[in-house]
């Protein structure tokens, strides 16, 4: 048991030592030497999501150009916070990308948020689960999925997930 604890503790220290807070998530990735194609996609995603905040990048210490990397950016707002995560997987001239954006909103219910999203985009399909405590929003083209999780009468956690296979 002590040996397992030591391994977990050492692993945690290694991960923490890789932490950084560069001026942008893509700059941080570039400084760590990730694959050029993956860097290009990360820059595009960063601009699309307008990411700015505390950034962390995790790469393999010896083979950062050919192995997957993890990029995290956290932001604080006056009515909540968000955490964005991207996993980039290089594959020769391609780069596969999965993203997760979790946003906590403290002054709107999930049903209010779902109504606003549906009103702004008529192509969204919504499904309710657990008496409305969870609302799943999906566009007709299935490019992403959003889960709204009720965290109180007037608060909601929004989780948006995407998987992209550019070049395929």
pLDDT digits (tens, 9 = 90+) for 80-100: 999 999 999 999 888 999 999
Domain that holds residue 95: 20-164
Q: Where are the beta strands (DSSP E) in 16-167?
A: 54-58, 69-77, 80-91, 94-105, 124-129, 134-139, 145-150, 156-164
Q: Does 30 fall in a domain?
A: yes
Please answer whether residues 55 and 73 qualify as being in contact, where contact means their C-beta atoms are separated by less than 8 angstroms: yes
- Kindly indicate the confidence band of residue 116, based on its pLDDT and cuts at 50, 70 and 90: very high
The count of structural domains within the chain is 1
Q: Is residue 8 part of a domain?
A: no
- Rounded to 5 degrees, φ, ψ at 165 are -120, 65
- pLDDT tens-digit map of 19-61: 444 578 889 888 988 988 999 999 999 999 898 889 999 999 8
- Do 135 and 114 form a contact (C-beta atoms < 8 A)? yes
Query: The whole model's pTM is what?
Result: 0.79
Position 15 in a domain: no
First to last CA, the chain: 45
Residue 11 lies in a domain: no
Is 3 domain-assigned?
no
């Amino acid at each position: 048991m002590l040996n397992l604890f030591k391994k977990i503790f050492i692993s945690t220290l290694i991960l923490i030592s890789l932490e950084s807070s560069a001026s942008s998530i893509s700059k941080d990735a570039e400084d760590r030497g990730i694959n050029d194609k993956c860097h290009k996609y990360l820059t595009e995603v960063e601009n699309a999501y307008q990411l700015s905040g505390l950034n962390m990048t995790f790469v393999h210490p010896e083979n950062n150009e050919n192995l997957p990397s993890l990029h995290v950016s956290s932001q604080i707002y006056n009515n909540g916070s968000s955490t964005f995560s991207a996993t980039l997987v290089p594959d020769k001239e391609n780069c596969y990308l999965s993203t997760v954006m979790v946003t906590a909103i403290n002054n709107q219910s999930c049903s209010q948020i779902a109504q606003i999203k549906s009103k702004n985009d008529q192509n969204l399909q919504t499904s309710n689960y657990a008496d409305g405590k969870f609302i799943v929003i999906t566009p007709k083209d299935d490019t992403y999925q959003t889960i709204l999780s009720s965290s109180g009468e007037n608060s909601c956690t929004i989780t948006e997930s995407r998987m992209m296979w550019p070049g395929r």
